[in-house]
Homo-oligomer: A and B are copies of this chain.
């Protein structure tokens, strides 16, 4: 029960929902998220910690970059929510805008580093 509330708590924040929606597109590093969300690094990093701590994302270090991706969970509620999020979040206008910004960002960045 506590576990379930924790799963929902992680989604009870606008920024974290945006992050989850972006990660649904694939693995991203912190600097990409900063750029797309236009948020300070400490803010993005804090939310990612929260998501990691609650089991929503996994990280993977590659050189100086920390890559984050959605985690697959063994908890049925968690899995069911993932499915819902993947199906419903893309309907939201802000999510669509973020995705467009992501595509644009990745295009500009090409094979260059983050900045």
Interface set of A (CB-CB < 8 Å, partner B): 1-2, 4-5, 8-9, 11-14, 17-18, 76-77, 80-81, 84, 87-89, 91-95
Contact = CB atoms under 8 A, between A and B. Distances in A.
Contacts of A9: 12
Contacts of A5: 11-14, 17
A14 B4 CA distance: 8
Q: Taking chain A's interface residues, is the majority helix, strand, or loop, or is none over half, making it mixed? A: helix
A46 B80 CA distance: 28
Contacts of A11: 5, 8, 12
**Which 3 residue pairs across A and B have the least CB separation, nearest first?**
A9-B12, A8-B11, A12-B12
Contacts of A88: 76-77, 80
